[in-house]
Structure 1
Amino acid sequence: MKYTVASIVVNNDFCVSCGACSLNCKSKAIDYQFKEGLFIPVVDETKCIDCDACLQICPSYHVNIQAENRNELLLGKHICVQTMQAKDVQLCKESTSGGVVTQLIISLLKNKDYHKASVLYFPVFRGEKAKLTVTDDIDYIRKAAKSKYVPASVDDLLTYMEMHPEEKIIITATPCQLIAIRSFIKRRKLSIENYLFIGLFCDMTMNYNFYSYLKHIHGDFEELVFRSKEPNGWPGDMLLKKQETTVVVSRDERIKLKPYFQLNRCLYCFDKLNVHADISVGDCYEKGYSSEKGSSSVIIRTEKGKDAIEKIQESFIISPSSMENIVESQQVFLKERNAVRAMKYSFLYRNIPQLMIGKVVDDGAICRRYGQVQDFLAIDNQFKAKSNRSKLSRMHKLFYILQRLFKKDTNAYIYIDHVGFVNKGAELMLRAIVEKVEQLYPDAIKVLPWDVYRMNVSYCWEHNILPLKNNPTGIRKKLDYLLTNRLRTKRTYILPSEITVVLDAGGFQFADKWTIDDTWFLQNWIAYYKQFTNPVCKKIFLPQAFGPFTKSNAKQLIQHVYAIADKIYAREQTSYNYLQEVLPDMSKVTIKGDFTCLFHPQPLSILNFMEDKKFVAVIPNARMIDKTDKEISDSYMEFMCAIVSYLHKRGESVLLLNHEGLDDEKLLLEINERLGLCLPILTNLDAVEIKLIIGKLKLLISSRFHGVVSGLSQGIPTLCTSWSHKYQELLADYEVSDNLLDVMNIKDSIARIDKLMMIPSVKSKYILEQKEFVSMQMWNEIAEMLV
């Protein structure tokens, strides 16, 4: 598989249809096809030269973040903040808010400060993508006023910039478009001074299926105006302009539809205020400034932007404002949860400040899927269900509400925390827990974090798992929860305040390695645990590695965890010792080994191609590079290549096995590239498939902890590298301490491989049974606590 924008970005549903990758492709191997509401890139593998040029310009791949703290990340740098409105009354009326962007462009062009401007005119979707157009036609620019919540392409703009490098252009763009444009300027070595970037505030955009849905409901139309002041003033309703009439669609309906059609990428974007612009502009929701005429909040970020505003300030009504007003009115810090989500996909951003460690939910995973595949009937049914409920008689409603409210909820809600489907160790723990909970508590409702739930909705439905949603705040949200969820016979989500058991399966999360020296780090963790307010809620930390704890925040966090925990299981003696050094007592702490040894998946026919005891598998781990000291980090890939090369030359059938996600997959591709080999790479497998594959191996060399567990627990000769004490302890637990490979000593490691190949140190059935017995003891202890 080649490492392209199609294999990485599109396959993970992060494309925004900007079109930049096609223009940057050196071999012209990228075309576009319309799929699930977007124009997505398709790579011709026969033309692709695997040069990464498409990824280098993509706004969804390795975006470099230069912010040093939380405020800089979400707010960006600025010189001043103002509230502005165009003095041109007609222009203000024609615009979405204050007419600021259009007036800026017109005035600067008339002053001849700039030659052209890029704008978006897109009256309706007829099968062709929206594109930013470069023009100096004032009439066209006025016609292009108003917001369009569609994923517009920048390829025509970039082509024009490359063909006319001397021209000065005003560029209006959303945050993701601006990332691609700036990257293009840098890679084509154009002069950044020739461009004035007007960045639009952006909460989210919607795919093109939104147009189809409106036609499904209201019939065909010739133009869609997303927000018009004509009927009811600012912030505006939708207008569907037909040949002989205009249909007014309330703003509430557009907002109601947003979760069904928003781009997945928007859930991972935290740049609402367009921090890379010279001037950022958006609707003004500040108290005392918003009006039916509309006005704009304007953030001047650079000297270039300041100079542009000063030259044409007579065209505007200007009032001073502040960043504090912007933050409050735009609810900017809600985007912090998007930054937390983005951390789970290491290919999205580089250098996100590690300040926002907490749990967030992803609202609307299923809704978005309905919009993507144009399942309009499902959307209609959801709205009809709400409508039908409202038609019940008042007495019937009152009786039903009272019955539901006063009926005691006897359900057990078991929240399985810090698991997932990307890291296969986390998935293995999830599946093992779900299996055991279903055996011990068949009637319990299992609950997962929403961002985990959305990754594998079918698995969750199959196992009666519901997502967790934040506790509602405010009367309106609490009432909405009662009416749309709590009072329903079949629940759609669970609140933290309802959880009766928290089973934390973090694996390795409390230690210096994962601690940030910032007050937000500790505060977010404390706030996270505070949301589980049910007085009967038990908090149990399943076997995981702990420590060391030398940092102040690390000590305070684990002490807080101990205070709120009902039980903590350390996975081995070293972790127990680290806890003992910082905790006031150890009455809640017990040593129990990894529990995934109890999980025995059924064989899969799709794996019949693998002959038993034929293959040697190698599993890498990107944490060997970013969580070890420089000497080991710099030597790791050379070590892995040396081991793979030796096994290949020895005549072994070598498999390269991905036990995590894209970071590890990239290492596997690099091994093949460095060695000039085409060894088979097994990737995009789930935890069940990986464990079954490991069970068929002749030998396993793993840098992933649960890869080692899956090997040892199935009696497979297993060696490993280490970036944490948990590996050494695991090997000792299975009485194979000599199976630890030293990255800094290739010769000794090869000798250990040879020795294990000649005399496989497969543990006896007795030891494996002992591990399962200890794990069963743990579950019995948990069962007693929950009685």
Structure 2
Amino acid sequence: MTAPHITIIGSALAGNKGASAMLESAIQTLSPRVPGVSFTLLSMYPEEDRAQNVYENLEIVAAQPRQLGVTINSLALLYRILPPLRPLLRQRSKAIGALAKSQVLLDQGGITFTDGREKFLLYNVASILPAMFVKTPVFKCAQAIGPFTNPVNRRAARFFLPKVHTIVTRGAKTHEFAEGLGLTNLFAGADYAFSLELDGTERDEVSKQFDMSFFESGTVVGLSPSVVLQKKVDARDGDYIGQTADFVKHLLESGRKVVLLPHSAREGSTKTHNNDLPLCREVFERVGANENLLFIDKELPSQQLRYIIGECDLFVASRFHAMVSALAMAVPTLVIGWSHKYQEVLEMFDAEEWAMPHSEAELGALVKRFEQLAEARTEVATSLQKHLPTVRARSLAQADLIATIVTDRTA
């Protein structure tokens, strides 16, 4: 019997904690379903990921964009067309070795093959092509794809996506886009991060760095800004940092407490890719120190961030997986987004009315909409609790699908 092995790409432990939540959900859910399974992460940030890896059955292999796009893809092509070289390639390349011994590749890219994101299209293809060359099935974990009106994106999607074993759609709009493209290899699921389990140590760990008595009185509002949204707002001559700071001031002046929480953070780095920490620091400086403002100024594990979010009474999210964590903890959430990927998840909770396009989220409208959410807080929280079991079941279903593929291919 072949030893069970799974390779993963598109997620991480370091930096983007949404990516971490997806990766750790896969490890948590698949380890008991596939006894003895081991994992390889093809990592964009190998050193950072290795430093944060606490899983004995997870190996981190370097796969930075250029290395993935040129080296790994080229070696995978050689593996396909020159069978005599295969033993040498498996031995010399950790990435090829991992793919060759895997029963499945999990693609955990959160949003792929989408109009308006053509600059990421090459990476979307490069992430799955080596597995196809090596003839390892590709399983796209729950993600957003489409729309496909751009000719370049449409051609790429029509060529590559039918070759994927299974595509788990993350919501109704994505499923509609995928069916419109003629895809039949679909499963209507929910984001893998809804399956993330807390282990009960989160409060003690967070308390070592932050005063958790902050949450014991008053109304606490969590806020997770996004550098992705900042770029979109500033590109239309807006002032995202100023607007966010003014919104925080409004919350404080209304007598509420605020937790400023970067859900994607890379400590020690000034680069903004997958890093909301510099943005949050600027917002904090604009607002000024305040006893009712708690700034989570460190990179915390995804479980600890979810615990903090769950301690909030209300939440305002621009980071997608900050929204997922808030929904998973049944915290009433106002979402300021830029893609259908936000609204389609809110629809699973009958909460789509609490999504705001960033183009409409000027300060006055944002304050008005937030106050409406605050007024409906109890009703919204009840609705979230009602829908959570169904959403979690849809999230966990993909673990069963993956386990079946692995089991069938190891028999």
Q: TM-score, normalised by structure 1?
A: 0.43
Task: Identify unmatched segments of 5+ residues in structure 2.
Answer: 63-71
Preserved contact between residue 497 and residue 532 of structure 1 (Cα < 8 Å): no
Pick one of 575, 599, 623 that aligns with 2:196. 599
Residue aligned with 2:238, SS: helix
Partner amino acid, structure 2, of 1:617: G
Q: Sort the Cα spacing of 1:424 and 1:450 in 2 relative to 1 into closer, same or farther, 3 A.
A: closer
Q: Which residue of 2 aligns with 1:501?
A: 104
| 4+ residue segments displaced more than 6 Å | 472-477
Residue aligned with 1:516, SS: helix
1:529 matched to 2:129: yes
What aligned pairs does 1:240-251 form with structure 2 within 5 A after superposition? none
Q: Which residue of 1 aligns with 2:40?
A: 447
Residue aligned with 1:720, SS: strand
Q: Sort the Cα spacing of 1:533 and 1:580 in 2 relative to 1 into closer, same or farther, 3 A.
A: same
What aligned pairs does 1:5-154 form with structure 2 within 5 A after superposition? none
Q: Which residue of 2 aligns with 1:686?
A: 301
Q: Partners in 1 of 2:96 and 2:47 — Cα distance?
A: 12
Q: Which residue of 2 aligns with 1:621?
A: 226
Preserved contact between residue 453 and residue 460 of structure 1 (Cα < 8 Å): no
1:736 matched to 2:335: no
Spell out, residue by residue over 1:638-694, the C-alpha distance to the aligned partner (whole angstroms, 9 max, x if none): 431221110011122212111113531222122223334454321311212111111
Q: Partners in 2 of 1:493 and 1:480 — Cα distance?
A: 7
Q: Sort the Cα spacing of 1:744 and 1:701 in 2 relative to 1 into closer, same or farther, 3 A.
A: closer
Q: Which residue of 2 aligns with 1:674?
A: 286
Preserved contact between residue 453 and residue 466 of structure 1 (Cα < 8 Å): no
Q: CA deviation at 1:733?
A: 1.7
Q: Which residue of 2 aligns with 1:128?
A: none
Q: Sort the Cα spacing of 1:629 and 1:573 in 2 relative to 1 into closer, same or farther, 3 A.
A: farther
Partner amino acid, structure 2, of 1:445: S
Structure 1 range deviating more: 697-706 or 746-755: 746-755
Q: Partners in 1 of 2:15 and 2:287 — Cα distance?
A: 27
Pick one of 390, 397, 408 that aligns with 1:770. 390
Preserved contact between residue 617 and residue 699 of structure 1 (Cα < 8 Å): yes
Preserved contact between residue 453 and residue 467 of structure 1 (Cα < 8 Å): yes
Q: Which residue of 2 aligns with 1:424?
A: 17
Q: CA deviation at 1:477?
A: 10
Partner amino acid, structure 2, of 1:767: H
Q: Sort the Cα spacing of 1:628 and 1:746 in 2 relative to 1 into closer, same or farther, 3 A.
A: closer
Q: Which has the higher contact order (CA 8 A, sep 6+)?
A: 2
Structure 1 range deviating more: 453-462 or 500-509: 453-462
Task: Identify unmatched segments of 5+ residues in structure 1.
Answer: 1-408, 486-490
1:748 matched to 2:365: yes
Residue aligned with 2:15, SS: coil
Partner amino acid, structure 1, of 2:10: H
Spell out, residue by residue over 1:386-435, the C-alpha distance to the aligned partner (whole angstroms, 9 max, x if none): xxxxxxxxxxxxxxxxxxxxxxx812220111001211111111111111
Q: Partners in 2 of 1:464 and 1:780 — Cα distance?
A: 19
Residue aligned with 1:415, SS: strand
Q: CA deviation at 1:757?
A: 2.5
Spell out, residue by residue over 1:193-215, the C-alpha distance to the aligned partner (whole angstroms, 9 max, x if none): xxxxxxxxxxxxxxxxxxxxxxx
Spell out, residue by residue over 1:518-538, the C-alpha distance to the aligned partner (whole angstroms, 9 max, x if none): xxx659936951454444x22
Residue aligned with 1:607, SS: helix
Partner amino acid, structure 1, of 2:102: I
Q: CA deviation at 1:597?
A: 1.6
Spell out, residue by residue over 1:223-250, the C-alpha distance to the aligned partner (whole angstroms, 9 max, x if none): xxxxxxxxxxxxxxxxxxxxxxxxxxxx
Q: CA deviation at 1:576?
A: 1.8
Preserved contact between residue 613 and residue 698 of structure 1 (Cα < 8 Å): no
Residue aligned with 1:655, SS: strand
Q: CA deviation at 1:565?
A: 0.3
Partner amino acid, structure 2, of 1:749: L
Q: Which residue of 1 aligns with 2:66?
A: none
Q: Sort the Cα spacing of 1:754 and 1:523 in 2 relative to 1 into closer, same or farther, 3 A.
A: closer
Pick one of 556, 580, 585 that aligns with 2:155. 556
Residue aligned with 1:762, SS: helix
Residue aligned with 1:442, SS: coil
Q: Sort the Cα spacing of 1:450 and 1:758 in 2 relative to 1 into closer, same or farther, 3 A.
A: closer
Partner amino acid, structure 2, of 1:419: S
Q: Partners in 1 of 2:369 and 2:179 — Cα distance?
A: 34
Q: Partners in 2 of 1:527 and 1:768 — Cα distance?
A: 31
Spell out, residue by residue over 1:168-199, the C-alpha distance to the aligned partner (whole angstroms, 9 max, x if none): xxxxxxxxxxxxxxxxxxxxxxxxxxxxxxxx
Q: CA deviation at 1:573?
A: 1.5
Q: Which residue of 1 aligns with 2:140?
A: 541
Spell out, residue by residue over 1:679-734, the C-alpha distance to the aligned partner (whole angstroms, 9 max, x if none): 43213112121111111112211110110110111111211101111112222221
Spell out, residue by residue over 1:300-350, the C-alpha distance to the aligned partner (whole angstroms, 9 max, x if none): xxxxxxxxxxxxxxxxxxxxxxxxxxxxxxxxxxxxxxxxxxxxxxxxxxx
**Higher helix proportion, which one?**
2
Partner amino acid, structure 2, of 1:699: L
Q: Which residue of 2 aligns with 1:642?
A: 246
Residue aligned with 1:701, SS: strand
Preserved contact between residue 419 and residue 426 of structure 1 (Cα < 8 Å): yes
Preserved contact between residue 169 and residue 187 of structure 2 (Cα < 8 Å): yes
Q: Partners in 1 of 2:29 and 2:255 — Cα distance?
A: 42
Q: TM-score, normalised by structure 2?
A: 0.79
Q: Sort the Cα spacing of 1:629 and 1:681 in 2 relative to 1 into closer, same or farther, 3 A.
A: closer
Partner amino acid, structure 2, of 1:750: V
Q: Sort the Cα spacing of 1:542 and 1:431 in 2 relative to 1 into closer, same or farther, 3 A.
A: same
Preserved contact between residue 9 and residue 43 of structure 2 (Cα < 8 Å): no
Q: CA deviation at 1:468?
A: 4.1
Q: CA deviation at 1:448?
A: 0.5
Q: CA deviation at 1:606?
A: 2.6
Q: Which residue of 1 aligns with 2:329?
A: 714
Q: Partners in 2 of 1:771 and 1:508 — Cα distance?
A: 19
Q: CA deviation at 1:494?
A: 3.3
Preserved contact between residue 425 and residue 707 of structure 1 (Cα < 8 Å): yes
Residue aligned with 1:685, SS: coil
Preserved contact between residue 144 and residue 171 of structure 2 (Cα < 8 Å): yes
Q: Partners in 2 of 1:669 and 1:461 — Cα distance?
A: 28
1:780 matched to 2:385: no
Query: Percent identity, aligned pairs only?
Result: 22
Matched positions, count: 366
Residue aligned with 1:680, SS: strand
Q: CA deviation at 1:561?
A: 2.6
Q: Partners in 1 of 2:27 and 2:254 — Cα distance?
A: 42
CA RMSD of aligned residues (A): 3.1
1:437 matched to 2:30: yes
